[in-house]
């Protein structure tokens, strides 16, 4: 009776150790593959920023508007900006994974089109908020047009911008930069150019940000 229990205990411990090792060893690999140089790629566009231009920390995000995990991270990133209004600036870049998210490119174009009328972040928030509805739609453009109307945008201008090659080029520049940086998952975050893998929790973001602030000597605990 004792022998099988011993074998089971050893096997469970071995499986636990192996899984833990794989979890740990995957991190440097992911770091290496999406190395910090992506932030400095010549092909990368300027992105859209939220927060003060002179903030000591820039949180760069490669995201996809149709990706459920990007949506899950969205309120956490917003909370980070709320907690560190002077210290963190968000820089968002598009990485629509069109192979699995059929409407992701259209969504990026819709947010860029709203940006042309000065409502980039309002549209960004709305597109994430209403993701479950438009992502199931056969014709998401109608949904985006309704959102534009809700934000008080000029609908004709909005539709023209949705077809703009210049805006499409802006999105594609981000896609090229993401591919050059071997980014494998969305969302992917960089803090001051360094890749980070925060968990889906505000506490983990705070931990990473506090560590970086302390390293910079600008550490002052968040409220």
| Token couple for 183 | 């980014």
Output 96 or 115, the one with its CB closest to other proteins: 96
CA distance 157 to 27: 45
Q: Which residues in this chain contact other proteins in the complex, by CB under 8 A?
A: 3-4, 7-8, 11-12, 15-16, 18-20, 22-23, 26-27, 30, 33, 67-69, 72, 97, 99-102, 184-188, 197-200, 204
CB of 204 to other proteins, least distance (A): 8
- Separation of alpha carbons 184 and 172, rounded Å: 17
**Closer CB to other proteins, 140 or 198, in the complex:** 198
Shortest distance (Å) from residue 92 CB to other proteins: 16
Determine how many CB atoms are found less than 10 A away from the CB of residue 188: 23
- Give the tokens for residue 68: 């459920």
Task: Give me the least distance between CB of 33 and other proteins, in Å please.
Answer: 8
Minimum CB separation of residue 98 from other proteins in Å reads: 10
- Residue 51 or 63: the one with the smaller Cβ distance to other proteins is 63
Between 141 and 204, name the residue whose CB sits nearer to other proteins. Answer: 204
Dmax of the chain from CA atoms? 77
- Taking the least distance from each CB to other proteins, the nearer of 7 and 176 is 7
DSSP string spanning 106-149?
A: HHHHHHHHHHTTT-HHHHHHHHHHTHHHHTT-S-HHHHHHHHHH
Q: How far is the CB of 24 from other proteins (least distance, A)?
A: 9
Q: Are 130 and 143 in contact (CB under 8 A)?
A: yes
Query: Two tokens at 46?
Result: 């300027």
Closest CB 65 distance from other proteins, rounded Å: 13
For residue 23, the minimal CB distance to other proteins (Å) is 5
Helix (H, G, I), strand (E, B) or coil at 74: helix
Task: Name the β-bridge partners of 33.
Answer: none
Q: Please say which residue, 26 or 218, places its beta carbon nearer to other proteins.
A: 26
Please name the helix (run of DSSP H) or strand (run of DSSP E) that holds residue 62, with its range, or none: strand 57-63
Cβ closest to other proteins, residue 108 vs residue 161:
108
Exposure of 40 by Cβ count < 10 A (0-12 exposed, 13-18 middle, 19+ buried)?
Answer: exposed
């Amino acid at each position: 009776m004792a022998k099988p229990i011993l074998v089971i205990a050893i096997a469970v411990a071995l499986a636990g150790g192996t899984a833990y090792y794989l979890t740990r060893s995957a991190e440097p690999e992911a770091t290496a593959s999406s190395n910090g140089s992506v932030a400095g790629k010549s092909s990368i566009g300027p992105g859209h920023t939220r927060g003060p231009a002179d903030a000591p920390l820039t949180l760069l995000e490669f995201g996809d508007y149709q990706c459920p995990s990007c949506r899950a991270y969205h309120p956490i990133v917003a909370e980070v900006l709320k907690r560190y209004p002077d210290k963190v600036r968000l820089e968002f870049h598009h990485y629509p994974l069109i192979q699995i998210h059929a409407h992701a490119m259209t969504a990026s174009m819709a947010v860029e089109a709203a940006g042309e009328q000065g409502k980039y972040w309002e549209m960004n928030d709305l597109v994430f908020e209403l993701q479950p509805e438009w992502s199931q739609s056969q014709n998401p453009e109608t949904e985006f047009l309704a959102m534009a109307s809700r934000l008080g945008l000029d609908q004709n201008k909005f539709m023209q911008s949705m077809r703009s090659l210049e805006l499409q080029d802006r999105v594609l520049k981000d896609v090229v930069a993401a591919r050059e940086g071997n980014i494998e998952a969305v969302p992917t975050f960089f803090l001051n150019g360094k890749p980070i893998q925060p968990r889906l929790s505000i506490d983990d973001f705070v931990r990473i940000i506090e560590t970086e602030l302390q390293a910079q000597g600008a550490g002052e605990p968040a409220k």
